[in-house]
Structure 1
Amino acid sequence: MSLNLSVLKSIIGSTIFKIASSIVSLIAVPLLLKALGTYNYGVWVTLTALVGWLNIFDFGSGYSLKNKVTESLVNKDKSYLQILIAGTIQFYVLATFVILLVFGCSFFVIAALRENAILSVILYLPVILAFPFTLGHFIVQGLKKFNLLNFLLLFQSLLWLITIVLYSYGIIQLNIYKVAFIYGLLYVLINFSIFYISLSYLKFKWEELLNFSHFTSSKDSLLVGGRFFLLQLSTLMLFSLGNLMTYDNLQVKDVAQFDTINKIFLIGMTFFSVIIGVFWAEISHAKALKQKVLLFKAKNQLLWISLFFSIGTCIVAYFMPFIVPFWTNGIINIEFTQLLPFVFLVVIQYFAYSGAVFLNAFEDLNGQVVLSVAASVFIIPLAKYFFYIGIGIGSVPLASAILILPTLIYVLYKSNKCINNLIV
Structure 2
Amino acid sequence: MTQKKNLLNTLQKRFFKSNTKRGEGLRKNIMGLLALRGVAVGISYLRFPVTLRFLGAELHGVWLTVGGIINWFGFFNVGLGTGLRNKLAEALARKDTKLARIYVSSTYAIISIISFIMLVMLIISAFTLDWPKIVAVSESYEGMLVATLLIVFTFFAFRFVLKLIGIVLVADQRPALSQMLQTISSVIFFIGIWLALKYRIMYGNLVVVGVLSSGSVLLVLVVASVILFSGRYKNIRPSIKYIDLHEFKSLASVGIQFFVVQISVIIMFSTDNIIISQISGPSDVVPYNVARKYFGITEMLFMIVLEPFWSAFTQAFVKKEFRWIRKSINKLVVLWGISVGVSLIMLALSGWVYRIWIGELVVVPVRLSVLMMLFFTIKTWNNVFVYLINGVGKIRLQLYMSIVIALINIPLSVFFAKNLGMGSGGVILGTIACLAFGAVLHPIQYKKIINGTARGIWNK
- Band the TM-score falls in, shorter-chain normalisation: over 0.9
Bigger drift between 119-128 and 222-231 goes to 119-128
Distance in structure 2 (CA, Å) of the matches to 1:127 and 1:80: 29
| SS of structure 2 residue aligned to 1:130 | helix
Q: % of aligned pairs identical?
A: 20
Letter in 1 for 2:256: G
Correspondence for 1:8? 27
Which residue of the partner structure matches residue 74 of structure 1?
A: 93
2:156 aligned partner: 127
Number of the residue aligned with 1:396: 427
**1:21 maps to 2:40:** yes
Residue in structure 2 matched with residue 156 of structure 1 by the alignment = 185
Distance in 2 of aligned mates of 1:213 and 1:21 = 36
Deviates more, 1:139-148 or 1:105-114: 105-114
- Output the CA distance in 2 between the equivalents of 1:73 and 1:210: 21
Match of residue 448 from structure 2: 417
Which AA in structure 2 matches 1:242? Answer: D
Matched, 1:292 2:358: no
Q: Which residue of 1 aligns with 2:83?
A: 64
1:117-157 alpha-carbon deviations (Å, 9 max, x no partner): 22211222211232111111111101111222222211111
2:380 to 336, 339, 350: 350
Is the CA contact 1:137–1:195 (under 8 Å) kept in the aligned structure 2?
A: no
- SS, match of residue 421 in structure 2: coil
The amino acid that maps onto 2:331 is: Q
In structure 1, what is the equivalent of residue 20 of structure 2? Answer: none
> What are the within-5 Å matches in structure 2 for residues 6-405 of structure 1?
6-103=25-122, 104-105=124-125, 108=129, 111-112=134-135, 116-170=145-199, 172-173=201-202, 175-199=205-229, 200-204=231-235, 209-211=239-241, 213-388=243-418, 389-405=420-436
User: Contact (CA 8 Å) 2:105, 2:243: kept in 1 or not?
Assistant: no
Shift of 1:86: 0.6
**Native 8 Å contact 2:174 2:308 kept in 1:** no
Residues 218-260 of structure 1: CA distance to partner in whole angstroms, max 9, x if unpaired? Answer: 2111211111111111111111212121111111110111122
Task: Encode CA deviations 1:148-203: one digit per residue, 9 max, x unaligned.
Answer: 22222111111111112112222655532122122221121122234344534222
The letter for the 1-side match of 2:435 is I
Where do 5+ consecutive residues of structure 2 fail to align? 1-13, 17-22, 455-460
Task: Tell whether the 8 Å contact from 1:54 to 1:128 is kept in structure 2 after alignment.
Answer: no
Which residue identity is paired with 1:195?
Answer: S
- Contact 1:136/1:196 (CA < 8 Å) preserved in 2? no
CA shift at 1:302, angstroms?
A: 1.4
Per-residue CA deviations over 1:85-132 (Å, capped at 9, x if unaligned) read 111101101111232244234863861299532221122221123211
Cα deviation code 1:252-279 (max 9, x no counterpart): 1101111221122223222222222211
| 1:292/1:422 contact within 8 Å kept | no
- The answer to whether the 8 A contact 1:352-1:407 is kept is yes
Q: How many residues align?
A: 422
Q: Distance in 2 between matches of 1:102 and 1:368?
A: 30
Could you give the per-residue CA deviations for residues 61-94 of structure 1, whole angstroms, max 9, x where no partner exists?
A: 1112112222233211111111111111011011
**8 Å CA contact retained: 2:202, 2:208:** no
User: How far apart, CA to CA, are the structure 1 residues paired with 2:393 and 2:54?
Assistant: 46
**AA matched with 2:164:** L
User: Which residue of structure 1 lines up, in the alignment, with residue 457 of structure 2?
Assistant: none
Q: What is the TM-score with the length of structure 2 in the denominator?
A: 0.86
Q: Is the 8 A contact 2:98 2:236 kept in 1?
A: no
For 2:310 and 2:96, the matched residues in 1 are separated by: 20
Distance 1:213 1:23, change over 3 A: closer
| Contact 2:80/2:256 (8 A) holds in 1 | yes
- Name the structure 1 match of 2:9: none
Q: How far apart, CA to CA, are the structure 1 residues paired with 2:199 and 2:243?
A: 54
Classify the secondary structure of the residue corresponding to 1:58. coil
| Matched letter for residue 43 of structure 2 | V
Give deviations 1:350-394, integer Å, cap 9, x for gaps. Answer: 111111111101100100111122112111111111111111111
Are the aligned partners of 2:91 and 2:99 in contact in 1 as well (CA < 8 Å)? no
SS of match in other structure, 1:76: coil
Distance 2:169 2:243 in 1: 25
Q: Please state whether the residue corresponding to 2:360 is helix, strand or coil.
A: coil
Structure 1 unpaired stretches of 5+: none
**Shift of residue 411, structure 1, vs aligned partner:** 0.9
CA pair 256-65 structure 1, distance change in 2 beyond 3 A:
same
Counterpart of 2:458 in structure 1 is none
Conserved in 2, the CA contact under 8 Å of 1:141 and 1:281?
Answer: yes
CA distance in structure 2 between the partners assigned to 1:273 and 1:109 by the alignment: 38
Greater shift, 96-105 or 334-343, is seen at 96-105
Residues of 1 paired with 2:120 and 2:202: CA distance? Answer: 34
Q: After the TM superposition, which of the residue ranges 335-344 and 210-219 deviates more from structure 2?
A: 210-219
Give the deviation of 1:314 after TM superposition.
2.0
